[in-house]
Amino acid sequence: MNCIMCKSQLSKNRVNHIVDYCGRIVIIRNVPANVCGQCGEYYVDNDTAMRLEEITGELINNKAEILVLNYSELVA
Ligand SMILES: [Zn+2]
Whether 23 maps to a domain, the answer reads: yes
Domain, as residue range, for 62: 15-31+45-74
The domain tally of the chain equals 1
CA 69 – ligand 1 centroid, Å:
26
- Say yes or no to pLDDT of 6 above 80: yes
Q: Three-state SS string across the chain, please?
A: CECCCCCCEEEEEEEEEEEEECCEEEEEEEEEEEEECCCCCEECCHHHHHHHHHHHHCCCCCCCCEEEEEHHHHCC
Whether 38 maps to a domain, the answer reads: no
At 13-72, the pLDDT tens digits run: 999 999 998 889 999 999 999 999 999 999 999 999 999 999 998 888 888 999 999 999
Which residues place a Cβ less than 5 A from the ion ligand 1?
A: 3, 5-6, 8, 36, 38-39, 41
CA 46 – ligand 1 centroid, Å:
19
